[in-house]
Amino acid sequence: MKFVLLYFLIANCISYALMGIDKTKAKRHMHRISEKTLLIFAFFGGALGVLLGMYGFRHKTLHKKFTVCVPLFLLFHVALFIAAYRGGIL
């Protein structure tokens, strides 16, 4: 269980940082982190970090694929965690 929690903690910290880095790069008109990369990080455990980054940095909040997919990924992660906990896996 500790490994799973550590994985999600690290994934969300990295995802949050990536959102901040991408926002900074956007302001400076620099080469950006692709939306695909951000969504992949969200899907593989970093949805909360991306969501917090979206509203904390005011970044990607008008992009439909982020406002729809990221909360769905987060709900999926929560449901998966609950199912694993109830099933005795965690």
Q: What is the mean pLDDT of residues 26-46?
A: 98
The letter for the amino acid at 35 is E
Q: What is the mean pLDDT of residues 54-67?
A: 98
pLDDT value at residue 28: 98
Examine the pLDDT at 2 and tell me if it is beyond 90. Answer: no
Q: Which value, to the nearest 10 degrees, does the dihedral of the CA atoms of residues 55, 57, 73, 64 take?
A: 80
Examine the pLDDT at 76 and tell me if it is beyond 90. Answer: yes
pLDDT value at residue 29: 97
pTM: 0.93
Cα distances from 78 to residues 27, 83, 88, in angstroms, run 33, 9, 15
Token readout for 22 is 């991408």
